Amino acid sequence: MMGLWMLLLLHLHLGNAPWTEGVEEGGGLHVVCVSLPAPSNVSISSFNMEHTLSFLPGPETPSNTHFTVEILKQLHLRKNLWRSVAGCSELTAGQTCNLTRAFKDPLNQYRARVQAFTPIQKSNWTVSGRFQPLSDTVLGPPDVSVSGCGNCLLLQLRVPTTRGLQQHQQLKDLYRQLVLHVQRTRDGARFRLTLPYKEENVITYLQPGVEYCVTVSVTSLFNSNSVASKPYCAFTSPPQARSSLYVVFGLLAAFCALGFLLIGLVVYSGQMSLELLKRRLPRTLSYFLIQGQNGGSGPPGP
Ligand SMILES: *[C@@H]1O[C@H](CO)[C@@H](O)[C@H](O)[C@H]1NC(C)=O
Ligand SMILES: *[C@@H]1O[C@H](CO)[C@@H](O)[C@H](O)[C@H]1NC(C)=O
Ligand SMILES: *[C@@H]1O[C@H](CO)[C@@H](O)[C@H](O)[C@H]1NC(C)=O
């Protein structure tokens, strides 16, 4: 860890080296035909260790203009050696440059610069701010799943799938600390937890059978630019208990429906069944039934 700090301090110290020298040198090289407006708003954005450079064409840039990108690695042995970036030597206005591969050393400090050109003209270079992958990237949230475990919540996390394998590994190394915001849905009562990053975490001492929502973000030692996940909600009680409750309610509803159906059938067939009974039941029984309905009067059948 001490080694890392030293390296970082060294970076910061060298950061004060005269960058402008390189810029002027570059400008001097191309001074012959500088006449295009220089690009503006050259900036580097980075999410989950994927780095992207964007820029705007200068005012009144002709439409046939192309743009080229170069980078400078600060701890390079040969100072102020700008290198072109593969795939970014002939961009058009509105295109961005993928610097993920070019900025592959997370601890190093880099700069990028953009120049406009046409077949006969060039612009001055416009240089970006200083960029260090490790500390300037924005850390997205991990993939989250939450489930209940009684009076606790089980939180399972995975490093998000990035497009590149190398960035995935770098992210894994960056994921050091978890910041959890836990909120009880019923009344909004909330608390915050910081834990060392692990794939499986248990949030304990919660109320059983109650819904909580958790948002997750990660930070690392040198980087606190993080984006929190959306809230993931779950009841503390185990999921099986909840589903069996649904089964009970379902059965109850089914029985009720069946009961109503039976009652309906009985009421509906009330009058008709009397006729049928007269025909089908043994004489004596139908006699008693008729007796009952007529209030006991009338002679017995033959
Ligand atoms: C290019 O830069 C030089 C000095 O670095 C400056 O004098 C000149 O005006 C610039 N040209 C344009 C087109 O901005
Ligand atoms: C470009 O940069 C200027 C100043 O640096 C800022 O005012 C402007 O909003 C930026 N434009 C865009 C599109 O970001
Ligand atoms: C940028 O380049 C990296 C490494 O080659 C790649 O994994 C990633 O998908 C690229 N990003 C975009 C937006 O093309």
Q: Indicate which CATH number applies to the domain containing 194.
A: 2.60.40.10
The two structure tokens encoding residue 126: 């416009």
280 and 250 in a common domain: yes
124 and 103 in a common domain: yes
pLDDT in tens, the chain (302 residues): 444 444 444 444 444 443 433 344 444 444 446 689 999 999 999 999 999 999 999 999 999 999 999 999 987 666 778 999 999 999 999 999 999 999 999 999 999 999 999 999 999 999 999 999 999 999 999 999 999 999 999 999 999 887 778 888 888 888 999 999 999 999 999 999 999 999 999 999 999 999 999 999 999 888 889 999 999 999 998 645 555 666 666 777 777 678 777 766 666 666 665 565 566 655 555 445 555 555 444 444 44
Q: Residue 181, exposed/middle/buried by CB under 10 A (0-12, 13-18, 19+)? A: middle
pLDDT at 261: 77
> 3-state DSSP call for residue 101?
coil
Q: Give the C-alpha separation, 238 to 228, whole Å.
A: 26
Among 186, 214, 238, identify where a domain stops. 238
Q: Give the C-alpha separation, 77 to 104, whole Å.
A: 16
pLDDT at 251: 75
**55 CA to centre of ligand 2 in angstroms:** 10
| Distances, alpha carbon 38 to alpha carbons 115, 130, 131, 142, 225, in Å | 7, 19, 21, 40, 31
Instruction: Yes or no: say if 186 and 210 are a contact pair by the CB < 8 Å rule.
Output: yes
Residue ID of nearest Cα to ligand 1 atom 2: 124
In a domain, residue 120? The reply is yes
287 and 224 in a common domain: no
| Ligand 2: lining residues by beta carbon, under 6 Å | 40-41, 56
**103 CA to centre of ligand 3 in angstroms:** 12
Instruction: Yes or no: say if 238 and 255 are a contact pair by the CB < 8 Å rule.
Output: no
Which ligand 1 atom sits nearest the alpha carbon of residue 23? 5
245 and 234 in a common domain: no
Among 211, 238, 265, identify where a domain stops. 238
In this prediction the pTM is 0.68
pLDDT at 242: 55
The two structure tokens encoding residue 223: 């980087």
Q: How many domains does the chain have?
A: 3
In a domain, residue 46? The reply is yes
What range defines the domain where residue 202 resides? 143-238
Residue 123, number of CB atoms within 10 A of its CB: 24
168 and 127 in a common domain: no
Which ligand 3 atom sits nearest the alpha carbon of residue 98? 1
Q: Give the C-alpha separation, 203 to 261, whole Å.
A: 48
pLDDT at 169: 87
186 and 256 in a common domain: no
Which ligand 1 atom sits nearest the alpha carbon of residue 24? 5
